[in-house]
Amino acid sequence: MFPELNSILSSSPENFTEGEFILLSDRQADASFLIHHYLTFYLRARCRVCFLGLVQSFSHYSVVSQRLGVNLTQAKEKGQLVFLEALKASPGVLLGDESSDKTAALDYLRSPCPELRGLYEFVWNSLSRAGGEDAAESWGPPVLIIDDLSVLLSLGVSAGAILDFTHYCQATICSQLQGSMIALVRCDDEEYDEDEESSNYLLKALSHQCSLSLRVEGLSTGYCRDIHGQVEIWWRGRGIKNQRKIFQYKVHDKGASFFAPGTSRAVL
Amino acid sequence: MLTEVLQGSDSGGIVIIRDTSSYSGRDLLKYCINCALKREEDVHVLGFEVPEQELRSELDSNNKHLFHFHNAYSDPLGWRKQSSFTVEQFSAENITRLVRETKHAKASVLVIDSLSWIERHHNPVAICQQLHKLKKGGAIRTICCLLHMDLHQQGIVESICHLANTVITVTAVNNALYAEAKTTHRKKSGKVMQEEEFFTVMENLSLSIEKRPSQSGHAQVHSDAKVDPASNLTFNLRLSEVEREAKEKVALPFVFSQEKKSALLKKGQGSGRIIYEPDANDDFDEEDPDDDLDI
């Protein structure tokens, strides 16, 4: 987790808002550093985390989390982290191999399957058990992290089905279990038409539902070695609580630094 | 006009609040619900997008028993087998039955949060038909719906709004606490009224309307008295009467006055005569080319 981001968002592993739906998005940049932040943040906060890794393998996140000071393998063994390794399990599902409980989660690969109900059942089963067999360890509120949703669009799932899935996740995890949900949507500038099956549409629809939105964009002036891009943080609330702030950031080996636009150490 | 339309006890019909992700129209929807409760009308909410607590909070506590929330948020598609109201059940018959089941107050108001959610699962034409049936049905006097304009094609938004008597479009105003509402109200007589207002919904669900936004950020100072630029200087820029007269008398260099014209037309005294010996190659014409000029 990134301490600077924690202070910007006024949250810490000891004290964070519950029941939040945090929407991460990027356009011409890579917001996955925020995924690593939230994964390590909630593991440090002793929450039960269900991670849907649809685009990278477990070892990828494990290596990065190691640098941020969290051991994913240990968390998985203790039962704190439930990791869906979709990349590894997908060939099995596509080729119709042996069925395990994981394959029901990847039902969307078997076309024509319009809904992500299987994936939702997997999430529900992972997070609804409070403690489960290991009653000695009582974990905090459940957290769902999805990396990422736009790949589902490429795999043939309709935007409506994805929105139904996120609706159910939000209704159960955020509202009922008072946990949090973090989802990443990656957008492409080329799909700027009003296509109802594009990531832009998904982003707009999810913006209506989220409580906090972090939009990562590359700098409009192009690539810069010292400033990797900018993040727009939007607290969606009513009246005064509705605030937008823009920060620029740079990703390091062991973290990321955030600063007000124009105040990068390289520039000042 | 926004207040009258939402508090309207005479209108009835369909009211649609259109919003975008930059400003949520749900606050205005809650204000609408509160007004209906204050008028002691039964309010039935088809809640798809937010849980009951979020809509119920801040409502008028006196008539909370008239507020009926039909939970379509927890399980709208039946995945968890604990659904109270599913999206499949959205039809005029089902809704009329639900409304008739509860005891009647003066009249019933149906609130739909939101039509955009239903549109993902139903044909827009079917939605329009059901809304029309509900309007004509008689069991419900007013239908108040929320629609997210940025999630649908413009044609769909317009066709749904065509059914409505009142369409309120809310948009955010840059970095301001208030928002802009454009209201289009179609009266029974057929007359269409439009108005743009700036409003905020306060903590206790009261509506504060401003006709024109107060420019608190950038104060434009329109000074009535013209500032005299020649005052407060260390040197004197003003003219005395004598100086002013002398200034008026000065002949400007390029003004073609009578004296200048006669001076130019007078032939010179010969001190500047030009003597020209033409060459063999020269085409020397003795005639004056300007002879035909009449000055």
Q: What is the Cα–Cα distance from A38 to A5, expressed in whole angstroms?
A: 10
- A208:B21 CB<8 A: yes
The CA distance from A187 to the nearest CA of chain B, in Å, is: 16
Tokens 């599913």 belong to residue? B86
Q: Between the CA of residue B14 and those of A31, B78, B106, B165, what are the distances in Å?
A: 43, 29, 18, 5
The CA distance from A242 to the nearest CA of chain B, in Å, is: 8
Q: What is the Cα–Cα distance from B167 to B185, expressed in whole angstroms?
A: 7
Q: What is the Cα–Cα distance from A251 to B236, expressed in whole angstroms?
A: 63
Q: A201 to chain B: which residues are within 8 Å by CB?
A: 151
- A239:B203 CB<8 A: yes
- B201:A175 CB<8 A: no
ipTM of the prediction: 0.85
Instruction: Kindly state whether residue A228 falls inside one of the protein's structural domains.
Output: no
Nearest CA in chain B to A207: B21
Mean pLDDT of B144-169: 92
- A238:B121 CB<8 A: no
Report the pLDDT value the prediction gives residue A54, as an integer from 0 to 100. Answer: 92
What is the domain extent for residue A71? 15-130+138-222
* Cβ A170 vs Cβ A10: under 8 Å: no
- B21:A168 CB<8 A: no
* Cβ A80 vs Cβ A172: under 8 Å: no
Report the pLDDT value the prediction gives residue B212, as an integer from 0 to 100. Answer: 61
Q: How many CB atoms lie within 10 A of CB B180?
A: 16
Beta bridge partners of A247: A231
Mean pLDDT of B98-102: 82
Q: A172 to chain B: which residues are within 8 Å by CB?
A: 74, 80
- A175:B177 CB<8 A: no
Strand A180-187 to strand A21-27: parallel, antiparallel, or no bridges (unpaired)? parallel
Radius of gyration of chain A (CA): 18
Instruction: Kindly state whether residue A258 falls inside one of the protein's structural domains.
Output: no
Tokens 């399957």 belong to residue? A113
* Residue A192, pLDDT above cutoff 70: no
The CA distance from A201 to the nearest CA of chain B, in Å, is: 7
The CA distance from A51 to the nearest CA of chain B, in Å, is: 21
Q: What is the Cα–Cα distance from A268 to A238, expressed in whole angstroms?
A: 36
Out of B74, B150, B202, the one facing A204 most closely (by C-beta) is B150
Q: How many CB atoms lie within 10 A of CB B282?
A: 9
Q: Average pLDDT of chain B?
A: 83
pLDDT band at A130 (very low <50, low <70, confident <90, very high): low
Instruction: Kindly state whether residue A235 falls inside one of the protein's structural domains.
Output: no
Instruction: Kindly state whether residue A186 falls inside one of the protein's structural domains.
Output: yes
- B151:A175 CB<8 A: no
Out of B21, B27, B120, the one facing A207 most closely (by C-beta) is B21
Domain ranges of chain B: 1-183
Buried b (16+ CB within 10 A) or exposed e, B87-121: bebbebeebbebbeeeeebebbbbbbbbbbbbbbb
Among A46-60, A95-109, B168-182, B244-258, the minimum mean pLDDT is found in A95-109
Instruction: Kindly state whether residue A199 falls inside one of the protein's structural domains.
Output: yes
| B31-36, Cβ contacts within 8 angstroms, sequence gap of 24 or more | B31/B6, B31/B201, B31/B205, B31/B206, B31/B207, B32/B6, B32/B111, B32/B144, B33/B59, B33/B67, B33/B109, B33/B111, B33/B144, B34/B58, B34/B59, B34/B60, B34/B205, B35/B6, B35/B7, B36/B109, B36/B142, B36/B144
pLDDT band at A188 (very low <50, low <70, confident <90, very high): confident
Q: Between the CA of residue A194 and those of A26, A152, A190, what are the distances in Å?
A: 18, 19, 11
Q: A21 to chain B: which residues are within 8 Å by CB?
A: none
Nearest CA in chain A to B21: A208
Q: What is the Cα–Cα distance from B104 to B189, expressed in whole angstroms?
A: 29
* Cβ B16 vs Cβ B10: under 8 Å: no
Mean pLDDT of A184-202: 78
Q: What is the CATH number of the domain that holds A24?
A: 3.40.50.300
Q: What is the Cα–Cα distance from A25 to A31, expressed in whole angstroms?
A: 7
pLDDT tens digits along A231-254: 999 998 877 778 889 999 999 888
Out of A124, A171, A204, the one facing B74 most closely (by C-beta) is A171
Task: Label each residue of chain A as H, E or C.
Answer: CCHHHHHHHCCECCECCCCCEEEEEEECCCCHHHHHHHHHHHHHCCEEEEEEECCCCHHHHHHHHHHCCCCHHHHHHHCCEEEEEHHHHHHHHHCCCCCCHHHHHCHHHCCCCCCCHHHHHHHHHHHHCCCCCCCCCCCEEEEEEEECCHHHHHCCCCHHHHHHHHHHHHHHHHHHCCCEEEEEEEECCCCCCCCCCCHHHHHHHHHHHCCEEEEEECCCCCCCCCCCEEEEEEECCCHHHCEEEEEEEEECCCCEEEECCCCCCCCC
pTM equals: 0.81
- A238:B79 CB<8 A: no
- B24:A240 CB<8 A: no
Report the pLDDT value the prediction gives residue B222, as an integer from 0 to 100. Answer: 45
pLDDT tens digits along A140-175: 899 999 998 999 988 888 899 999 999 999 999 999
- The structural domain count of chain A equals 1
Report the pLDDT value the prediction gives residue A131, as an integer from 0 to 100. Answer: 46
- A239:B177 CB<8 A: yes
The CA distance from A62 to the nearest CA of chain B, in Å, is: 33
Which residues of chain A are at the B interface, by a Cβ-Cβ cutoff of 8 Å? 115, 117, 120-121, 124, 160, 163-164, 167-168, 171-172, 175-176, 194, 196, 201, 204-205, 207-209, 236, 238-240
CA nearest to A176, candidates B142, B80, B183: B80
Nearest CA in chain B to A164: B77
pLDDT tens digits along B245-284: 988 888 788 877 777 777 777 665 656 777 878 787 777 6
A222, with CB counted inside 10 A (0-12, 13-18, 19+), is exposed
CATH architecture of B1-183: 3-Layer(aba) Sandwich (3.40)
- B74:A117 CB<8 A: no
* Residue B217, pLDDT above cutoff 60: no
pLDDT tens digits along B114-126: 899 999 999 999 9
Nearest CA in chain B to A206: B21
* Cβ A161 vs Cβ A114: under 8 Å: yes
* Residue A136, pLDDT above cutoff 50: no
Q: Average pLDDT of chain A?
A: 86
